[in-house]
Amino acid sequence: MIFGCLSLSGKSCFSTLFKFEEMQEIVKNFTVVHVDAPGQEDGAAIYPAGYQYATMDQISDMLPTVLQYFNFRTIIGVGVGAGAYILSKFTLSNPEAVEGLVLINVDTNSRGWMDWAAQKLSNLTSSLTDQILSHLFSQEEMSANTELIQTHRERVSKAPNLINIELFWKSYQGRRDLDIERNNTFKCPVMLVVGDQAPYEEAAVDCNSKLDPTTTSFLKMADAGGMPQLTQPSKLTEAFKYFIQGMGYMASSCMTRLSRSRTTSLSSSYSMEGSRSRSRTLSQGSQGGQLPPSPSHTMEVSC
């Protein structure tokens, strides 16, 4: 199950990654379902003035209905930004429904007073488009004004559902602290991904410090910025393959590019029976090693 980020539908947010050639090996073995927050889908009707938009908690509570509709017992969740937060909330409330999580640029904390004050000032001095872009990209990326930045600026500013996007943005800004800690954390394997220039690098590092190190992988991607699924699909595909192999799926898949990468460091823990008691760090010059075989059952969930 895939949950996109602010200003992008699930398909738009992940189209580059899931159309990537090497990702097709994964796609053909899994059912992929893109989930959009209310009013964020392409062609969505515009909400009227004064509309009370759903909170992050309420959106998370909608996901069981999605699973029920597709008759999914379990999923692997992949989310970016706000989508990663929503999937995190859902997983804490429904641990039996989630086999694994891939969280890109996640921030599980509520805004502090300084963040709140900065946002109030930003609301007065910056357009909604600039606010969202500064959420998605670092100042270095914004200053470079690459084609990616220009594309997103035009996409947001000219979005026919801009009112809906603003409501979603305000809902995310009002998110609650998930209170994740070592004795109250995810019960499934987790891969945290963040670009080295992403604005939420510190938040991802903080989240990593609160998770179980024996079931958590942390991937900091060089030259990835705020949208690694768009700018580094090859590295992310390889890391994702490695992650699901650690869960017991696709053991025969060839793992080469990530182990050769000179810019990637991936800490993970895997075992043959899923206990993941064996810790491994994959970095420059290391080799993937022998990975666990696929389980006898098949997984009818999305990734």
Asked whether residue 227 is domain-assigned, the answer is yes
200 token code pair: 């939420």
Residues 303, 300: Cα–Cα separation, whole Å: 10
Asked whether residue 188 is domain-assigned, the answer is yes
CA-based nearest residue to 40, from 80, 91, 99: 80
CA-based nearest residue to 234, from 3, 27, 21: 21
Residues 15, 31: Cα–Cα separation, whole Å: 15
For 103, 146, 261, the CA distances from 2, given in Å and listed in that order, are: 10, 26, 26
Number of structural domains in the chain? 1
Asked whether residue 259 is domain-assigned, the answer is no
What's phi and psi for 270, nearest 5 deg? -140, 155
Q: Which domain holds residue 47?
A: 2-253+298-302
pTM, rounded to two decimals: 0.80
For 14, 61, 100, 299, 300, the CA distances from 249, given in Å and listed in that order, are: 21, 28, 12, 9, 12
Asked whether residue 21 is domain-assigned, the answer is yes
The answer to whether the beta carbons of residues 235 and 140 sit under 8 Å apart is: no
Pairing of strands 98-104, 278-282: unpaired
CA-based nearest residue to 257, from 299, 219, 288: 288
Asked whether residue 271 is domain-assigned, the answer is no
Asked whether residue 73 is domain-assigned, the answer is yes
Residues 108, 25: Cα–Cα separation, whole Å: 31
Can you give the three-state secondary structure of 280-296, one letter per residue? EEECCCCCCCCCCCCCC
- Alpha carbon dihedral 223, 227, 233, 234, in 10-degree steps, equals 20
pLDDT of residue 298: 26
Residue that has been written with the tokens 């990537």 in this structure: 20
Asked whether residue 293 is domain-assigned, the answer is no
CATH code (residue 171): 3.40.50.1820
Q: What is the DSSP letter of 253?
A: S
CA-based nearest residue to 27, from 258, 302, 232, 228: 302
| pLDDT tens-place values along the chain, 303 residues long | 777 667 666 677 888 898 898 899 888 889 989 999 999 988 899 999 999 999 999 999 999 999 999 999 999 999 999 999 999 999 999 999 999 999 999 999 986 555 655 555 555 557 999 999 988 898 888 888 789 899 999 999 999 999 999 999 999 999 999 989 877 899 999 999 999 888 888 999 999 999 999 999 999 998 888 889 988 999 999 999 999 999 999 876 655 444 444 333 343 333 323 333 322 222 222 333 333 333 322 222 222
Distance of CA 48 to the CA centre of its chain: 30
Asked whether residue 93 is domain-assigned, the answer is yes
Q: Can you state the angle between helices 128-136 and 113-125, rounded to 10 degrees?
A: 140
pLDDT of residue 42: 85
